[in-house]
Structures are given as C-alpha cells and as structure tokens.
Structure 1
Amino acid sequence: MAPNDSAETNGTAARPGRRKAARYIVPVAVAGVAAATIGLVPALASSGDPDLPKITAQELIEKIAASDTEQFSGTVKISTDLGIPSMGGMADSFLSGAAKGGDGKDASSADPQAKLTELASGTHTLRVAADGPDKQRLSVLDDTSEYSLIHNGDQVWAYDSASNAVYHAEGKGKAPHGKEQAAPEGVPTTPKALAEEALKAADGTTSVTVDGTARVAGRDAYRLVLKPEQKGSTVESVTVAVDAENGVPLKFTLRPSSGGKAVVDAGFTSVDFGKPAASSFTFTPPKGAKVTEADDAKAKGHEKEARKAAEKAQGDLGTFEGEGAPKIIGKGWNSIAEFRTPGGAPLPSEASKDVPAEAQQFLDALGDKVTGKFGSGTVFKTRLINALMTDDGRVYVGAVTKDALIAAANAG
C-alpha cells in the first residue's frame, strides 16, 4: 500500500507541471452542484489493496492531467443520496413538464435535455463508450427498457425504448471542449467527468493526499483524497480512485460532513481501454419509432421562447449586480453565490395561492424558517447543497451549512 504522501495546497507558486494540472482543479461547491444533477452507487467492494510504487499527491494530480486516454468502454454504477424527501405526485408532474416544449406541447420523450434529468435520483447502471472526441455512446439501463444517447461526428441520436421515441440532431460537431461524453454539457456521467470538476482548484483551502491503493473494476488504482480545510462546508471529503497505469479516474466518492453514506458515488464495475466496436456509434431508428428532429422543435419556437425567458431572467438579476452574474462570497469549499430572485419576488407561500399544495408540502419539508440581521427567510437543505431565500427576495446558495448561509446574509 502506498504511504499517505500529501500535497496540501497553500497558495505558493506552482511548478510547470502544477500549472498543467490546474486546469482540472474547483471549489467543490461547484462540483457539488454538478454532481447533484445525476444519480450515483454505494461504494464498490474492494477486492484487495495492490502494492504499488510510491507516488505523491502532486504527481498523481499531474498523472490525471497528462492522461490522454480517448478510447474506452465499460459499465458505470451511479447513485446519489441528497437526503431530499419524496416529492410524491410532484415528481411526475415536474418530469412530465420537463419533457414538454415551451408552448406546453409534447416534445420527444427521448430528448436528452429532459430524459437525463431522471438521473437526479436513485441508483442507475450506465453503459459508456468513447472513441475520441467525435464518437461517444451512453446508455441508461432499466429493468425493462434502455435509453441510449449516441454522438457520431455531426450526428446525435437518442432513443427511448420504453416509448419507442427517437430524437435526432445534426451539425453538433465535436463534444464541448473535446470531452469524451455524449451527455449535454454540465451533466457529468463518468468518474472522469466528476473528477475533473472536483479537481479544478486546490486554492489554499484544500488538503490533498494519497490515501493508499485500491482495486476498481479489476484494475490497480491510487486513492486521491481531497478535504476542505475550512469550517462550514457540507463536504467531508472527495475520494478519486485513479488508474495506476493510465491516470484515468475510475471511481468518485463524495462524503458529507454530516456523516452517513456517500452523497455521490460513481464507479466503473467493468472497463476496457481498447478501441470500441464501430457499431457502438451507429444507429438506425427502429421500425415504427416516432422521430423528432431538433430542427422541428426549433421551428415550433421552443428554443426562441426559452431564450426570451432566459434573457428576461438575466435582466432581472442584473438589477442586483448590474451585470446579471451572482455575487460570490468567500472562496473554495465555502463559496456562496448571492443573487436576487427576478423582480426581488419573495418565496411563494400557501397563503398567496401562488404554489400548488403538493409543491408547498415539498418546500415545507425541505425548509427551516430562520431570522437574523438580514430579516427573515427560509433555509432549504439537502445533505450537500443548501440555500437561504430571504423574504425580500435574496438567495444565498452553496455547499455550506445553514449557519454559514445565515452569516453571509447577515454580512450582506
């Protein structure tokens, strides 16, 4: 087992290799938000700790940054436990609404922007494959159905076997920033994508160590552990199992400061770094399938309406900062985003009849009424991301505790 070599971040000048690695390193408040968009699995059982050469944390980070592996295929188990109470009928209402266009008409049930929101909870099994930046495939496996998203050059296909629905888009070109993933940008679906988000900024607020070795998906790996050095974070640690041979992250685990099982855990259960079969990236719509073209959705004005709504919301937010961007309080793991709701509107209440009863029940289950120098408001909590909405329409959100949010609001 490799010894616990550490490379605690302290803001000193970086070596050239460190600068190269820095492009992979973030405040985990941001990583937590990204991770919260998918669902991830209990820690994979270790089959033994391999005896590997000694390596420092800095060397391991550089090994991740230097990894040029672009071909792989395998199975990923993912799960999340944010501690959010059941939404009951509201969940079905929300998900069905997400699958509709801006005018309320049904869009394709295979549309990835709507379908992949289902990864926000529960445990899921994914099959993934990549052959460079132009070819990726991601399949979500259920007991009786399968959803697949295929990117091949300028063609993107998505197929939902449960509804026999197909979604097709052209002219997309390469995946954003050359990332080997077929999912929409901002939806990490592999340990590598999660690790890259969690390793973007060790900025003097993080302890980074190598905590031994592990076996993941039959491969030898080092365990890179990140821990916040600040008080007030909801994150206890982030552990990334890194392939000892090629530097590819094989497993990602985020544990909360409140204890208990991992909030986010994603890992390969099998992986092959050979070239996937070309057939993995080809798709022909099955007979009788309903095909929705992305251009048709545009013609219906869905994207135009969404763009207008986004521009209006940004304009409203601009009244707070002048530029539409939220104000960032603090740094590193304790970063808190502060912004104002559109028009400074307070949280809808049951008395105002602005929110359905089921939605109000869900909000009440999540929220704690709080007061302070800022006035009064409600803290909405999960095991990772918490948010304070004041009664005068200000919002403070981050991977921090309730007390940290109240302190930020009082200071503001």
Structure 2
Amino acid sequence: MPTTVETAQKKKSHKPSGSKNLDLLCSVKYKNTLPDIPFDAKFLSYPFDSQRFIQYNPTSLERSHKHDLLTEVDLGVPIDLILPDTYPSHGLDAVLDPADEALLEDEVVQQPESKRAKQHAKSVSWLRRTEYISTEFARPHSAADGAETKVGYNVKKKLQGMDVYKDRASQIAAIEATFEAAKQPITKHYSKRGVEAKEVLPLFPDFELWKLPFAQVLYDTDPANSGRPEQKQVEEMSQAMIRGMMDENNEQFVAYFLPTPDTLVKRREDNQLGLDYQDEAEYEYKLTKEYNWNVKNKASKGYEETYFFVTRPEQGVFYNEIETRVRLSKRRGKSAKSAMNSKLVVKHRELVEDEVMAQESRLTQLEAAVPEEDWEEAASEEETEGGDDDGSEGTEEEAENQNDFEQAFGSGEDDD
C-alpha cells in the first residue's frame, strides 16, 4: 500500500488540545533496490532442443480425426468394366519420344551463380547497414547467415569427390554399387578411429514369429501394484492380461487383469514341465485397474511404421513389425465396486481355420513378389473355381471403431 501523509488540519483534529502543529509537509519515498549479483555472468551451453517450445505438435484428438473425402465414385474417370477391349494396349516395348522422356526427369540442376550475384554477396565493412533496406539476410551466401552457412559448407565439403546423379543411368549405377558395397565385411567404425567390431550378425525378418501380430502398449503410470517385492511384481506383470470391456453406461474401457495365486502356481508347474499350457486347464485373473484406450494401427491415418529387433544366439538378429500401438490412461471416477470383483477365466484351445489362414496371409508378406502375368492367371483360376458370392459384405466405415477395439483387446465377453 502506498505511503500517505495527512494534512495539518487532519492531524490537528486527532491531537489533544495544546499540541504543537507542524507546518512542514514532505512525502516519504521508499526504495527497494536489489543488491548486485555476487558473481560475474556466465555463458552456459543450452542442452535442450531450441525448437522444444515452439515446434508444432498435433494432439491425439487431431491425429485421430478422420476427414471425409467427398469425391465421385470413379474420380471423374469412367472405366468400362464390361468390355476390356475398349482400352487397347500398345505393348511394353513402346519407346517414348525424347522430348517426352525429358519431361519425366525429376532431377533439378542448379544454375551456376553469376558474377553479379557474387559481387552482391560480398559484405563491406565500412558501409553502414540499416534494418530496413538491407537485403543481406536474404542472400544465399552472405556472412550474416551464421551457423546455416557453416553447416552448408561442411555438408558440401563432405560431398566432395562424390558423383552427382544427374540422370537415371547414374542413379541405377549408384543403386547397383550399394549391393556390391554390402558384400564387403565391416570391421571398423566408419568415423571413430580405433573402434572395431567384435561380432557381425546377419539381419533377417523374423520368419518364425512374423505370422503373429504384435502390439505395443504404453501406460501412463506403472501398472504394478505398489508395496510388493520387485520380483513378485515382475512375475505378475509378465503374465498380466488386458481385455476390452463395457460398463453399465455402454462406455468402452480396458481392464487390466493380474493372475491369482492359484494361477501363478499353475504357471510355475507348466514352466517346470516345459509346457505353454495344460489342456482343459482354467487360469483365473482378477481385475486390478481400468484404463481409457487410444488405439492406432496400420490403417489409421498418420501411423508411423515401427519395427523391433530380437537377437537369437548363433542365429542372428531378426526384426518384426508392430502393427498396433495402444496408449492407456488411468480411468478415474468411473469404476464401480462390483466391477473390481470381476474375474477373467482363460482356457486355451487350438486355432480355428480362420485364425490359421490369417497367420498364413501374414507370412505371404515375406514371400518374393509374384510376376503380374502369373498373378493374373492365378486370379482367373480362382474366379472359375470359386463361383458366385452371396453378396453379403459389411460396411467398414460403420464398424471401424468397434473392429479396432476388438482386434486390440478382444470382444469384451468375460466371465464375472
């Protein structure tokens, strides 16, 4: 609160009779100056990315939104599916005109700098530069570019001696050279001196487990139960299961189940016998936590392909694909007491025909590409043998969210 000074009349009214009045009035000013810094300024390197607070990152709501494409069925190009002779083929050995072939080149050759541009790029020390008329910042080779100029110079220096691929023939030759370079053994590091490879392992697709779809599940917090030994937590979480469920308000959520003590004993016995499971045996799991889910797969827009690597001794390194990525956030204020008493009973069975066919179709991704002529012959044979269809096809747009939910977590039909 600012300091106030009362007038002489007001002071007189509050003082008893016989007191002496003051004729001098002055304003009191208070200063609150900070002390000097007890040490000199220090310049420290900023360890973080300079774009961390200004780079645009879309939210999950924006990434999951799907824009409707209102287009015509044939995209404005009517195709006659009844008479294939309408579009005669000119043969695969057709030669393009040189003028048309030049239009297909996608390489852009940079024009050399002119003498006038080099003169304008020079910076003059005695000439004053103003912020309004200076165009030095817009010049490609000015000294004011700073770090960008140095980075470009370093990149250009590293590319010295390398061929510039100006035409398609040079590109093909460069691609063929990579196959020859891959055959050479790698024993030393490409940039660090004195660093040598201790072991070289071949890299192959995971032919054994490629038929199984893998999903990556990301939790917002540690799903393990607190207050238990770490070894016990690892044993329970290694056998935990997640399942899609629906509450009384028809809201979907993901239930996190942990094995019961009886199930842990059964799993230990199976491990000692070298079995994955026992026939006709039932394994019980208890509901522990509930999560909200956000699932993305290869069909989702903006999904980035992700692979993981597995090292097998004396075999090599194998990579596999992650088809689905699931993010789980804890569900607060919506779980009921009766739901926390739910149990999941698991009973193993053999794969049905549809599941076996789905695994075989995934393995076809690792097979070599079939020539177009052979593929057309195989398709024509299937049409003649298969006959007519019943025409019962469902619309994918109506059940897309439900299919993603069931593929990631199951249908949600559990035993309580």
**TM-score category of the 2 structures, normalised to the smaller one:** under 0.3
Higher relative contact order (CA 8 A, sep 6+): 1
The TM-score, its normalising length taken from structure 1, stands at 0.20
TM-score (normalizing by structure 2): 0.20
* Structure with larger Rg: 2
Structure with greater proportional strand content? 1
